[in-house]
Amino acid sequence: MARAHYQVARRKRRKAVLKRAKGFWGARSRLYKTAKETLLRADAFAYRDRRRRKRDFRKLWIQRINAASRALGMSYSQFIHGCKTADIKLNRKMLALIAVEDPDGFSQLAEKAKKAVEN
């Protein structure tokens, strides 16, 4: 019995790798082995950075809330503590959006938070 050659499957696999590596620099987009190694590394970065993106956005929201609350005479931690005691149930993403889009609304929230801390 003649042996199986897997030519179609192998070509399909290699074409898929080289198609994904399109746009990479030099041999990384042309040679199968280097393209495969580069894609493994790219996939590792993509996996890692999908988790890092969540941290980065939270940091950005905190910075925006901090800047807006400091402009109103409060620190970030005082503002968040005031929001918790005033039972303002908005997450940091929404608070940051309000701080950027609606400064008047944010100042009203800050006043409520300030009163809640004072009582």
Helix (H) or strand (E) run with residue 48 in it: helix 32-71
In-domain check, residue 57: yes
Contact 24, 17 (CB under 8 A): no
**107, 109, 115, 119 alpha-carbon torsion, rounded to 10°:** -160
- Structural domain contains residue 102: yes
SS3 74: coil
Give the Cα-Cα-Cα angle 77, 81, 82 (nearest 5 degrees): 115
The answer for residues whose C-beta is within 8 angstroms of residue 36's C-beta and 6 or more apart is 17
| CATH (domain of 33) | 1.10.1900.20
Q: What number of other Cβ atoms are within 10 A of residue 111's Cβ?
A: 14
> Within a domain: residue 36?
yes
d(CA 118, CA 116): 6
Query: What's this model's pTM, rounded to 2 decimal places?
Result: 0.79
Asked if residue 107 is part of any domain, the answer here is yes
Task: Answer yes or no: is 84 within a domain.
Answer: yes
Q: Are 76 and 67 in contact (CB under 8 A)?
A: no
CA 97 to chain centre: 16
Domain count, the chain: 1
pLDDT in tens, the chain (119 residues): 788 888 999 999 999 999 999 999 999 999 999 999 999 999 999 999 999 999 999 999 999 999 999 999 999 999 999 999 999 999 999 999 999 999 999 999 999 999 998 87
Examine residue 2 and state whether it is found in any structural domain, yes or no: no
Structure tokens at 8: 């179609």
- Segments forming the whole domain that contains residue 106: 7-118
Assigned domain for 1 exists: no
Please indicate, yes or no, if residue 83 is contained in any of the structural domains. yes
